Structure 1
Amino acid sequence: MKKQLTEAQFQAAIKSLDVGQQTIEIARGVLVEGQQQSSFVKSLSLTRGAVSQAVQRVWAAFEAKSLPEGYERVSAVLPEHQAFIVKKWAQDAARKREAKQ
């Protein structure tokens, strides 16, 4: 899945972030305007890791703010049968959120 934000989502994500203007420009270019990270590597003479980190900081802020109240994002490595159960829980939770809207 390609990471993409609207301008409004982007603004909400960076609202409370303490990052420099260059980070904001890179992240907006990639997440809102759909530019390739490699274009920033070349034009700004930065490493791929630095550009990726700039984008990831804003994306992580967006994800943290986009969770409904009372929900938490988790990541785990589980045996297959347990992963199946957790995926079912996630589907059920998504259906319940959609029903409330």
Structure 2
Amino acid sequence: MKKRVTEAQFQTSIMDLEVGQQTIEIARGVLVEGLQQSSFVRTLGLTRGAVSQAVNRVWTAHLEKSLPEGYERVSVVLPEQQAFIVKKWAQQAALKRESKQ
């Protein structure tokens, strides 16, 4: 899945983030403009990890701010059968949200 956001979503995502201008420029280039992270590694002389971290800070903020009211994102490790059930719940919740739009 390619990580992409609109400019409006990007602005909402960075609104409360305390990050530097370079992080914002890298994240906008990758998330909004669709540029490759490797281009920032070359042009700015940064490590791949540093560029990835800049993008992920904004992407994580976007995911948190794009949750519908009353929803919460969770990450868990479960036995296979319980994971199957939780995945079904997630599908049902997605369908429910789509039907309300």
What range is the shorter-chain TM-score in?
A: over 0.9
Query: How does the TM-score come out when normalised to structure 2?
Result: 0.95
Q: How many residues align?
A: 101
Q: The residue matched to 1:92 in structure 2 has which SS?
A: helix
Residue segments in structure 1 that go unaligned for 5+ positions in a row:
none
What's the counterpart of residue 15 of structure 2?
15
The CA deviation at 1:76 is 1.5
- Map 1:7-86 → 2, pairs under 5 A: 7-86=7-86
CA distance in 2, matches of 1:30, 1:74: 25
CA distance in 2, matches of 1:94, 1:57: 25
CA distance in 2, matches of 1:87, 1:2: 21
Query: How does the TM-score come out when normalised to structure 1?
Result: 0.95
After superposing on structure 2, the runs of 4+ consecutive aligned residues of structure 1 that deviate more than 6 Å are: none
The CA deviation at 1:59 is 0.2
The CA deviation at 1:39 is 0.7
Q: Identical aligned pairs, as a percentage?
A: 79
Alpha-carbon deviations, 1:75-96, whole Å to 9, x = none? 1122211111001100111122
CA distance in 2, matches of 1:87, 1:71: 15
